[in-house]
Amino acid sequence: MDGGGRLWILVTLLLTLAAAAAAAASTTRRRHAYAAMMYMGTPRDYEFYVAMRVMMRSLAKLNVDADLVVIASVDVPVRWVQTLQEEDGVRVVTVENLKNPYENQDNFNTRFKLTLNKLYAWSLVSYDRVVMLDSDNIFLQRTDELFQCGQFCAVFINPCIFHTGLFVLQPSMDVFKNMLHELEIGRENPDGADQGFLASYFPDLLDQPMFHPPINGTKLDGTYRLPLGYQMDASYYYLKLRWSIPCGPNSVITFPSAPWLKPWYWWSWPVLPLGLSWHEQRRKNLGYGSEVPVLLIQAIMYAGIIAVTRLARPSLSKLCYNRRPEKSIMILHTMLKVAAMWSILAAYTVPFFLIPRTVHPLLGWSLYVLGVASLSSIVINVFLLPPLPVLTVLLGILGSLVVMAFPWYSDGVVRALVVFAYAFCCAPMVWASLIKVSSSLQNLLEREAFFPRLGESTQVPEFNKLY
């Protein structure tokens, strides 16, 4: 064999060994983990699944030196688990749901029924430290220094109660079993959820020192308070419209808000300005491929409705001949008014519920406006209403979006005052539009052309041109 052949064999062998080493490295577990939990049984399971994927992918993009772990209940769909494992590189640990002994408390909220599954984090004993997360976190930078913290570390968003949206723990089967025992004997739990239980289990955390990562990289022992920069409550931003957190690095944003105002919902922006930050992370890390086909179908459907209603204007006149006593006509008038008002309401609400909840806000609001305009065109043509009064509310919504999205407010108080002033100015116009619609309906119903007398022949075209 000549020198060239030997060189080729050597290169091939080296490439094979490198590939094997890379594969082995990818399957080797690291000493630390970022973990989150996922369970089923709420109306928002899919949205939290999407949020989980965005958070895990953002951590992977930050090149964190840790495994990504999801503690998933046994009823999580298999395809979701496979997607997390194969596409997102996440290790999925399947667990049985822990029974919540506090569900009969007077103040218990059923959406927290399975949050005690978070306790399974202490069973991840193959790791030295675990950072346990809720899915509504946005990571602005790496936070691997948290793995130097002690046996339990958390942030106090509330002055007296720490927040369990992010905390550091040292896994221990002894601690895990003791927690299960405390559940059995009914340890005090103010809210019946994971936060109340952990606050009761670690009651002295408020008196512990603040965590400062050692420069030499060693791990600390004991319990510590984490600086607020590791759980920057979004409500702090809404007050100043900027971050001003002096305690520790500004690393993680959290959204402990009402469930329907989480940042992944398209309607959360511009109501809450930071919603766009979450969607920017999704755009970069996950994309919107699963929702785009639905958006295209709806957009084409709405455009088709607008095109048809521009070409033809069907009239209900021929359905309303005066062949009944006057009393019946009055009932018919009332029914038509009610039908018109409900149709306008439906035109504004139906598109909202058809849009996929986790699409980008710019796409969501654009499709909503298109949907309202298309369905309103049907109402305008069927009941022969003037377009402007029917669409006044839509124009008001568009104006409010512009007012809320204006990026140069000095602070959140000024922004709130401007939004209130806008709403105050718009209210009379909305009221006037409703009166105009009602009067238009009344005038239409009183026309002899719309209700021909018995015995008279009135030619009514099947379709009238709208323009």
Predicted model pTM: 0.84
All residues at 6 or more sequence positions from 66 whose CB lies less than 8 Å from its CB, including other chains: 30, 31, 32, 33, 34, 131, 144, 147
Locate the DSSP E strands across 54-207.
67-73, 91-95, 129-133, 137-139, 152-155, 163-169
Check the CA dihedral 35-40-41-44 and report its sign. positive
Provide the residue-wise pLDDT of the chain in tens; the chain has 467 residues.
555 555 455 445 544 544 444 444 445 678 999 999 999 988 899 999 999 999 999 999 999 999 999 999 999 999 999 999 999 999 999 999 999 999 888 888 888 899 999 999 999 999 999 999 999 999 999 999 999 999 999 999 988 899 999 999 999 999 999 999 999 998 889 888 999 999 999 999 999 999 999 999 899 999 999 999 999 999 888 888 888 777 778 899 999 877 888 999 999 999 998 989 999 999 999 999 999 999 999 999 999 999 988 876 654 444 444 444 455 567 777 888 888 999 999 999 999 999 999 999 999 999 999 999 999 999 998 888 999 999 999 999 999 999 999 999 999 999 999 999 999 999 999 999 999 998 888 887 766 444 444 344 444 444 344 33
User: Residue 29 corresponds to which amino acid?
Assistant: R
Coil/strand/helix, residue 37: strand
* Four-point Cα dihedral 223, 227, 233, 238, nearest 10: 160
CB contact set of 170 (below 8 Å; sequence gap of 6+): 128, 129, 130, 150, 151, 152
In CATH, the architecture of 29-286 is: Alpha-Beta Complex (3.90)
CA-nearest of 167, 125, 400, 143 to 269 is 400
- Do strands 32-38 and 163-169 pair parallel, antiparallel, or not at all (unpaired)? unpaired
Q: State the pLDDT at residue 24.
A: 43
Asked whether the beta carbons of 70 and 91 are under 8 A apart, the reply is yes
In the prediction, which pLDDT does 313 show?
60
Strands (E), 289-419: 313-314
- Tokens coding 326: 């006057």
What is the bridge-based pairing of β-strands 313-314 and 463-464? antiparallel
Among candidates 183, 37, 153, 45, which has minimal Cα distance to 96?
37
Distance, in Å, from the CA atom of 70 to the CA atom of 87, rounded to the nearest integer, reads 14
- 8 Å CB contact between 155 and 162: yes
Q: Where are the domains of the chain?
A: 29-286, 291-447
Length of the chain, please? 467
